[in-house]
């Protein structure tokens, strides 16, 4: 399988602070669904922000599609769904405007709207949507450029069980049927263990990297975590 991301000896500290990540190394492969887990403050969000070039001043190397992060320019190959979008509740932007701001072609917009069943949401303000609908829109925006790598930061956090299942079903479909690599940070171990191909457990440093089955059995020893 082709390597999509390679992280080598990655260390990072916020200005004047302690090390958030220490010598983390791993790879992500084409078509793989990778789950990243770890306790609060373990550095999960920091790790994906570093991979996305959103934070600077790290030690080590990050490669995206074979190119070093500093030289990487093909950002349309990467889709990102952030942990939460902290916009003002009065923000007037409509779902249609959000999607057209990121989608290049009319045809692609229609495909995306059909795939995510967003027809009825298009004329509504983003802030009027439920949490699950908002996550769908964010996913739609991330998928707009037909990325080969999709990175999601806790996409099911705060959603009801039906919305969680819907999002996970879509991600599984994307990973299995379209060959996209999906990287998902989550505390939702049940969802990750049911859908991911591989698990990465971090707590400032890499604590575990391997199969879901093995992860389930040893996580209790690592973090005292249990599947819900």
Partner 1 sequence: MELLQYDFVQRGLLAGVLIALSSSLVGVFLILRRLAFLGAGLSHFAFGGVALAVLLGVEPFLFSGILTLGVANLIELLRRKRRIGGDVSLAIVFSGGVALAVVLLSLSEGFREDVFSYLFGNVLIVSPYELYLSTGVFLITCAFLLLNFKSLLLMSFNEEMAKVRGIKVMVLNHLFVSLASLVIIVSIKAVGIILASSFAVIPAAAGIAVAKSLRGSLILSALISVLSTVSGILISLHFDLAPGGSIVMVMIAAFTLVVVFKRLI
- DSSP secondary structure of 164-225: HHHHHHHHHHHHHHH--EEEEE-S-HHHHHHH-SEEEEEESEEEEEEEHHHHHHHHHHHH--
Of residues 159 through 218, those in contact with partner 1 by CB under 8 A are none
Q: For the purposes of burial, counting CB atoms within 10 Å of the CB of 192, is it exposed (0-12), middle (13-18) or buried (19 or more)?
A: buried
Report the nearest approach of partner 1 to the CB of residue 36 (Å).
17
119 binds partner 1 (CB under 8 A): no
Report the nearest approach of partner 1 to the CB of residue 15 (Å).
9
Report the nearest approach of partner 1 to the CB of residue 91 (Å).
6
Of residues 80 through 99, those in contact with partner 1 by CB under 8 A are 80, 82, 85, 87-88, 90-94, 96-98
Distance CA 11, CA 47 (A): 9
Of residues 30 through 59, those in contact with partner 1 by CB under 8 A are 49, 52-54
Report the nearest approach of partner 1 to the CB of residue 71 (Å).
14
Distance CA 222, CA 201 (A): 9
69 binds partner 1 (CB under 8 A): no
**Beta carbons within 8 Å of 19's beta carbon, 6+ residues apart:** 11, 12, 13, 204
Chain positions contacting partner 1, by CB under 8 A: 49, 52-54, 73, 75-76, 78, 80, 82, 85, 87-88, 90-94, 96-98, 100-102, 123-126, 138, 141-142, 145
């Amino acid at each position: 399988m082709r390597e999509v991301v390679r992280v080598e000896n990655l260390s990072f500290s916020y200005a004047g602070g302690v090390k958030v990540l220490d010598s983390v190394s791993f790879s992500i492969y084409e078509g793989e669904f990778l789950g990243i887990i770890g306790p609060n403050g373990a550095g999960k969000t920091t790790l994906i922000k570093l991979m996305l070039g959103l934070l600077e001043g790290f030690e080590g190397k990050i490669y995206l599609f074979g190119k070093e992060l500093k030289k990487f320019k093909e950002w349309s190959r990467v889709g990102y769904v952030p942990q939460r979008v902290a916009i003002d509740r009065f923000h007037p932007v409509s779902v249609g405007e959000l999607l057209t701001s990121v989608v290049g072609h009319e045809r692609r917009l229609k495909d995306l709207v059909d795939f995510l069943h967003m027809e009825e949401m298009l004329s509504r303000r983003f802030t009027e949507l439920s949490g699950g609908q908002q996550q769908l829109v964010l996913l739609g925006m991330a998928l707009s450029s037909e990325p080969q790598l999709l990175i999601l930061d806790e996409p099911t956090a705060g959603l009801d069980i039906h919305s969680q299942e819907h999002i996970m079903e879509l991600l599984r479909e994307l990973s299995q049927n379209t060959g996209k690599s999906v990287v998902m940070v989550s505390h939702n171990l049940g969802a990750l263990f049911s859908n991911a191909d591989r698990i990465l457990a971090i707590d400032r440093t890499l604590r575990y990297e391997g199969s879901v089955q093995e992860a389930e059995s040893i996580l209790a020893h690592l973090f005292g975590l249990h599947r819900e």
